Structure 1
Amino acid sequence: MARIDPEDAKASMIARSLWPIADFRNTQEKWLCVCMECGDFVSPRYNNVVNKGAGGCKRCGSKRGASKQKLDADVAKARMIEKGVWPIAGFVKTLAPWLCVCMTCGEFVSPTYGSVVTSGHGGCKYCAVASKTMDSVAAKERMIACGVWPVADFKNTSDPWLCVCMTCGHFVKPRYNSVIHKGHGGCQFCGRREVDPQHAKAVMIAHNLWPIASFPGTSGPWLCVCMKCGEFVNPRYGGTAYRGSTCKFCAGKAVIPDTAKTRMIAKGYWPIAVFAGVRAPWLCVCMECGTFNSPRYSSIVSDNQGGCSQCSTSGFRDDAPALIYLMVHDARNSAKVGICNVDTGRIEKHKRNGWALFDTHTFDLGVHARATERATLTAWRSRGEDWKAALHHDEDKYDGFSETVSLVRADGHVTDPAQLWDDVLNSIKRLGL
């Protein structure tokens, strides 16, 4: 991994008002410095300060943040007046009660600036109460127009109001504010929030699910027996009635552990751990070569793919000779590190897609090539945002895109592919390969 010159690193920190007083180690470790603004000793990381643009001194950062948040008293007063309350006391802070006069009703009130201006809750509690009260006859007419007939006296806009739904006939208790101002509808039954238990049971039976427990509501698990396979399941009424969800066993989303084990054995994998689910890794022994593997039931049985890496004839083999390569794409201004077994067409495939081979290194075992590739990518990614996979936001993912890196840095500097190949060779040395 190419190191940053200590003098260049020091100059970059000084340019950001941090004077290093210890030796530079690397971009990720804390570096003892003196803040050139307040004189405090601080220990920021070079990567945070230079690459990510974070400040190096917490005290100075807090002062800058406080200065940004400090509000001018005249500006605060003008904003309160715009909201309908006239301050008659001095401004203290945004969350402190502020004595004002309501410009609508003339009452003395003490709202906070944050509540009135920032949150928009209104400044006068008296006007707020008055807004919730209205003529009961007009309120009833508006509820009837929305499909619910009030059968109790009107209290206010926020309390539940006993009504009869004019569509299904159920007694409901909607709030005037919810129905009229928010448009949520007055009947929870018609809105599918509540369902008659007998109707719900009939719907489940129509989907071959026989309920054997009381109705728990539209969103709670409901113990049923599948009328096709006989398994106990816990579907939700909402999922069955509105989305057509049925038995998870019949749908292939779940499987009985004994059945799963039998099917895996038939595919040549002997499970030696407890079954955790159709998509969870399952520790098995390959019955052909004796290797331990952790394939997924869904991949082996449902999709008929994956399995033992040692017996596979198409994938990368860790026990066979392999090589690591670096390729360059001029049009993309990118470089790619990759691995493949010897005598495969992997490199030629990349060439047909516009990549040019820069260099290769051969290993006796593929596992060594895999370890080198991971170490190289870790070194690249640790250098910051500028070293992530080279994939533009409007570009489709291509073969091996996650192992790429851009040759052009954010500052316009172009990285020599020879430096990237040095990263590969240095990874080999560090791993002792």
Structure 2
Amino acid sequence: MLIDRGARPLEAFPGSQRPWRCQCMTCGQINAPRYNDIVNKGGGVCRGVCRSQKIATRLKHNSHAAAATMQRWGWLPLEPYPGAAKPWPSRCAQCATVKIKRLSHVRNGRARCSNCAGRAPDTATATAIMRAAELIPLAPYPGQQMRPWLSRCRRCRHLATPTLASVRLRGHYCWACKAVAFPARAALDEEQAVACMLTHGLEPLDPYSGDANTPWKSRCTTCDRKSEPVPTSLPGHHRGCPFCARLDISPTEPGHLYLAVQDDLQALGWGVAQGRRRLHDARRAWRPLAWWHLPAAQDAWAFARHLKQQLRSNGFPPVSRGDISPDAAWAQTASLDEVSVDHAVRLVERVAGPASHEADPPALDKQASSCTPGWNAASGLKA
């Protein structure tokens, strides 16, 4: 049996279910097929060079026939035919996008252009979609539709970081424009406005003006001090009395994007702040290194999100909290063992301009936000 199949036995017959060492009389390679496999499956004896040559011969196609197959499926080859299973750069006849195709994939039904189908648009198509939605890209296309893309809104000139998928689904996508249009949609009548004030511990002292965007003189039911909050700002930011409530960052007021270093963990952190509040506590001190002063905190958020996207897409994970909580990680951090401070500064300076390395940012009379890496008012660590 083995001799008829082109192999010479090297040992006595071990049994039909056991490997039988033999030598291929064509290529000289030693194999160990099972007798049952040869008889029942009808396969060859040699599993090496001879098998590869048979497969290559079966898959081999004429270059003209291969090119004709590609053209029939809408692809114009740009290089000589490399082989059925090898990458073959080709241009889509419909959208002129260059893709790496394989003849075997095309013949098996995977011939559709992902750019025409909208699954993987090229840079030119993605940029055209953003510009049609009145968004000007400020960074190269990240390569995936679900990744944030730093852009500038043509309507309000503020920065935004929408994903290409959200723009394709909703059209113009800018949080600053959305914030301007929100008050009109969230207009409150007198009963709703009074209920909103009382819910946040504020007792109105003047009649309702009819405009929920107008400051309303009121008294705090906790500290008995007077203030003039805007009713529409209360539900979104959970603000009550400005004297006894911790203020978050106001997106329309000036803010800072900062980089800081935690020396014990060798961690690089970034975030948004409004004011001079330092990142430090008795156990883990964050040492600020660079600041970018921006006219609106929402622009600082956009730059911070862009920095995070760039670092994560290049394989730089966040830093673990170690002994405090081994399973948790700071979302706004990266290890200094993997990325340098200079590299992070350059990533931001490409889109935000030169950084400031002064000891303190200008006073804005605001506290640091929850974007601060690991910040908590009580413990110095993010909850």
TM-score normalized with structure 2 length: 0.38
The structure with the largest helix share of the pair is: 1
* Greater relative contact order structure (CA < 8 Å, 6+ sep): 2
TM-score normalized with structure 1 length: 0.34
Structure label with greater radius of gyration = 1
